[in-house]
Structure 1
Amino acid sequence: MTSTVEEIHELGRRWAEAEQRGDTPSLDAMTTDDFTLVGPLGFVLDRGQWLQRYRGGELVTRSLVWNEVEVRDYGDAAVAVGRHTQQASYQGNPVDGQFRATHVAVRRDGRWLLAGIHLSPIGGPPPFARPPSS
């Protein structure tokens, strides 16, 4: 029997592969009806809007790596925090980047589904955190 941590890692692997393929049927099947994405600039997409970016060809993901993942198990819910590194374009514009990503998953009828993803850009330290120049 697999552990929740292993199952959530597997869900994340399948999600990243489906995003790279633009595989909307698979993405649709692995998300809850009320799935929400909070993008790296603070925009919010519901499931239909999230999937439409691929259906319409607006979002093309050439590479997506989901690693450094730590999972917290809460029974029928789990939270996974990791690093999301992508090479992609949106409406022909590059949207490459590295993001800290939080995935929220829920167990429904014995299987794990993504209920939400929140992305935050990974940047350097703010100016006030840097040592003074000599």
Structure 2
Amino acid sequence: MRHLLLFCLALVFTPPVFAAGTTTDAELLSIDASWNDLRLKSDVAALQRLIADDWLLTHSDGRTQDKADYLGELRTRSRTNQGIDNEDVVLRRYGDTAVVTGTSVQSGISNGKPWHGRFRFTRVWVLREDRWQMVASHSSRVAE
């Protein structure tokens, strides 16, 4: 009985080390796709949870933005996405880290000017405190 009690206590106080294995590839790709949906809606509150505090975005022109700056643009609507279509999306998993790559055709308005482009993207996701968060995103413009 004593061993059973110790075993039960160990189960209760042991952190969930298998959480990364419980998320299917389809679920993780759905989380990644939500990044686009939330940007189209300019849903700053939901993006606040999806993006890690140490997140870094590298734009196709080499400019970088941190979380606060990017969400500030969305909050003030100085940047809006109007269309995002992804193709050739590939997921690679490395334990508590996942890398998603693909091609994206996007359009929007930034500082009053419309833009459109085809990009290759790489996004890095890390499992932290039982939820996946994006820690990095990079895009490179593809010649049209």
Give the deviation of 1:2 after TM superposition.
4.5
Q: What CA deviation, in whole Å up to 9, does each residue of 1:42-76 have, x standing for no partner?
A: 00100001111111111111111233110110000
Identity of paired residues, percent? Answer: 28
In structure 1, the partner of 2:116 is 96
In structure 2, the partner of 1:113 is 133
1:96 is paired with a residue of what secondary structure?
strand
In structure 1, the partner of 2:78 is 58
Matched positions, count: 123
2:96 paired with 1:87: no
Gaps of 5+ in 2: 1-21
In structure 1, the partner of 2:68 is 48
Q: Distance in 1 between matches of 2:47 and 2:95?
A: 23
Q: Determine which structure has more spread, i.e. the larger CA radius of gyration.
A: 2
Q: Distance in 2 between matches of 1:118 and 1:52?
A: 19
In structure 2, the partner of 1:26 is 46
Counterpart among 34, 43, 62 of residue 14 in structure 1 = 34
Q: Contact 1:7–1:112 (CA<8 Å) still a contact in 2?
A: no
In structure 1, the partner of 2:15 is none
Q: Distance in 1 between matches of 2:42 and 2:28?
A: 21
Q: Distance in 2 between matches of 1:66 and 1:114?
A: 17
Give the deviation of 1:25 after TM superposition.
0.6
Q: What CA deviation, in whole Å up to 9, does each residue of 1:68-95 have, x standing for no partner?
A: 1101100000111011211101011112
C-alpha RMSD over aligned residues:
1.3
1:64 is paired with a residue of what secondary structure?
strand
Q: Distance in 1 between matches of 2:50 and 2:87?
A: 19
Q: Distance in 2 between matches of 1:112 and 1:2?
A: 9
| Higher helix proportion | 2
Gaps of 5+ in 1: 125-134
Q: Distance in 2 between matches of 1:45 and 1:14?
A: 20
